[in-house]
Amino acid sequence: MSRLVVISNRVSMPTQAGAATAGGLSMALAAALREYKGVWFGWSGRTTPEFTGELSTEMTEGVTVATVDLEEQDIQEYYNGFANETLWPLFHYRIDLSAFERAYGQGYERVNTRFAETARPLIDDEDLVWVHDYHLIPMGRELRRMGVANPIGFFLHIPWPSHQLFTALPRHRQLVESMFQYDLVGFQTEDYLEAFLEYVRKEADGEVLEDGRVRAFGRTIHAQAFPIGIDADAFKQIADSMTAAQSWDRMVASTYGRSVIVGVDRLDYAKGLEERLLAYEQFLTDNPERLGSVEYLQIAPPSRENVDAYQDIRARLDAHSGRINGAFSTINWAPIRYVIRSYGRDELAGVYRAARVGLVTPLRDGMNLVAKEYVAAQSPRDPGVLILSRFAGAAAQMTQALIVNPYSREDVSDAIRRALSMDLSERKRRWEILMEGVQRNDVAAWRDDFVAALRNTRVQTKAVA
């Protein structure tokens, strides 16, 4: 079998012992690498006074982990700048927050070149190369310039924006042209795939062939949707662990007699946290009989704290949560618990299981694995209800959730009321269908489908030759 070489912005190879605290994407890529053997390359997270390209390597559970340090200027222009102040807001439909600085684009190109130069010696002739996410869109082009003829795939974990929105990006055509150096380009949903194809047809005079391949810029590539999942069986085991049980006990004891609504999201404007707080306030206003009997727990670990937009959203959330608690609290009850810190997946599994409602309402999201983890953590005897934004990629698969418009306070408020009032038989019926989908469309299916499709491009290329 071919080795798999994974290239991503950051490397986070979890050990089996640390699986309970690792993130969903980290677990997904680790599973792929253990299955197919190979190398995981990316930024170490550390800075160096001058970029040298010196690799740091170690072997972890049969996988070679290789990292490189970046200069401070690289981090500011490539990571904080173009990746997170230009592409991230634009791809999440927040063009008002996008910063179109020429220096950011130059830093982005420079780091992609440096990554490619550093990773090139790690790639053997028979390897499959899998590049991940918006940080590294030009990576395939840079590897081709260095003579890499291997099958190279790219997977975008975040949404692909509409054709009209994407054209607001300076040099948008050059960025898409670089994607045609890949053999396979993957998206989370059919909607995001179609948005990409619309751009190719209208801006690049491209065409979609009958077999699904896409032709533009003098090249033909494969483009498909590959919805990512979780390791459902492993997460269910985590939910049954001692740590999860202790977390469940603490939740039940601290919220005795009250129904818990839980949200778990990285502190980000795309997650709809501000709109969610206002919708919950609407629920409290519209349902005064529920005061004192319900509690909303929002866990929001901070991220990208050097980016102004993230400082702004944190300040607004602090203000809203304080104002709502001040307006509705009594001496023995507060409607909101707002926690700005991280928890391990085993602790979160206990929190999910204790919550009657999982509130997952991003304004725009590539997939959202929290929705799937919430379902996987539930007790079959007494499952909770998932409320899910229609703008999360997961909504296309998880139709038995209560699907809402996250921009509408009334819509979310009504869904909360319905979820809290739902009888056991309906909760079980919905959960059983959701759980079957989470298990069927798991991370192994995502991994195997993508790698098989990438390997198939090699077979087709050889057949043509």
Element (DSSP H or E) covering residue 9: strand 4-10
156's tokens: 């975008």
Give the mean model confidence (pLDDT) for residues 361-376. Answer: 96
Percent of the chain with pLDDT over 70: 95
Q: Are residues 205 and 245 in the same domain?
A: no
Q: Are residues 119 and 130 in the same domain?
A: yes
pLDDT of 15 higher than 60: no
Q: Is residue 421 assigned to a domain? A: yes
pLDDT of residue 459: 61
* Cα dist from 419 to 97, 188, 388, whole Å: 34, 27, 12
Band of pLDDT at residue 170, cut at 50, 70 and 90? very high
pLDDT of 5 higher than 90: yes
Element (DSSP H or E) covering residue 267: none
pLDDT of residue 16: 54
pLDDT of 24 higher than 70: no
Q: What is the pLDDT of residues 214-233, one digit of tens each?
A: 999 999 999 999 999 998 98
Q: Is residue 465 assigned to a domain? A: no
pLDDT of residue 464: 41
Q: Are residues 285 and 382 in the same domain?
A: yes
pLDDT of 203 higher than 50: yes
Higher-pLDDT residue of 62 and 371 is: 371
pLDDT of 160 higher than 70: yes
Q: What is the pLDDT of residues 80-135, one digit of tens each?
A: 999 999 999 999 999 999 999 999 999 999 999 999 999 999 999 999 999 999 99
- The candidate with the shortest Cα–Cα distance to 407, out of 278, 262, 251, 246, is 278
CA distance 85 to 89: 6
Q: Is residue 123 assigned to a domain? A: yes
Q: What is the pLDDT of residues 289-318, one digit of tens each?
A: 999 999 999 999 988 877 788 889 999 999
* CATH number of the CATH domain containing 105: 3.40.50.2000
- Give the side-chain half-sphere CA count within 13 A for 293: 8
CA distance 148 to 36: 20
pLDDT of residue 36: 79
Q: Are residues 327 and 385 in the same domain?
A: yes
- Give the side-chain half-sphere CA count within 13 A for 405: 5
- Give the side-chain half-sphere CA count within 13 A for 44: 18
In total, the chain counts a number of residues equal to: 465
Q: Are residues 157 and 281 in the same domain?
A: no
Q: Are residues 257 and 369 in the same domain?
A: yes
Q: Are residues 247 and 103 in the same domain?
A: no
CA distance 41 to 429: 43
Q: Are residues 134 and 266 in the same domain?
A: no
Query: What domain range includes position 428?
Result: 232-440
- The candidate with the shortest Cα–Cα distance to 248, out of 371, 356, 375, 381, is 356
41's tokens: 């390359």
- The candidate with the shortest Cα–Cα distance to 337, out of 277, 389, 378, is 277
Element (DSSP H or E) covering residue 164: helix 163-166
pLDDT of residue 397: 97
| β-sheet with 4-10: strand ranges across | 56-60, 63-70, 38-47, 4-10, 128-132, 152-155, 184-187, 219-225, 213-216, 207-208
pLDDT of residue 23: 61
Q: Are residues 265 and 396 in the same domain?
A: yes
Percent of the chain with pLDDT over 90: 86
Of 3-17, 216-230, 252-266, 336-350, least confident by mean pLDDT is 3-17
pLDDT of 465 higher than 50: no
Of 28-32, 364-368, 441-445, least confident by mean pLDDT is 28-32
Burial 190-229 (b: 16+ CB within 10 A, else e): ebbbbbbbbbbeeebebebeeeebbbbbeeebbbbbbbbb
CA distance 227 to 441: 8
State the Cα torsion 324-330-333-339 to the nearest 10°: 30
Q: Are residues 240 and 205 in the same domain?
A: no
Q: Are residues 263 and 399 in the same domain?
A: yes
Question: Could you tell me which residues are beta bridge partners of residue 63?
Answer: 38, 60
**How does the average pLDDT of the chain come out, rounded?**
93
pLDDT of 164 higher than 50: yes
pLDDT of 28 higher than 90: no
Q: Is residue 89 assigned to a domain? A: yes
Question: Could you tell me which residues are beta bridge partners of residue 336?
Answer: 296
Catalytic residues: 157, 365
Q: Is residue 128 assigned to a domain? A: yes
Q: Are residues 171 and 253 in the same domain?
A: no
C-beta separation of 298 from 273 below 8 A? yes
pLDDT of residue 13: 72
Higher-pLDDT residue of 152 and 26 is: 152
Q: Is residue 341 assigned to a domain? A: yes
pLDDT of residue 1: 64
Q: Is residue 416 assigned to a domain? A: yes
Total structural domains within the chain: 2
- The candidate with the shortest Cα–Cα distance to 201, out of 186, 226, 223, is 223
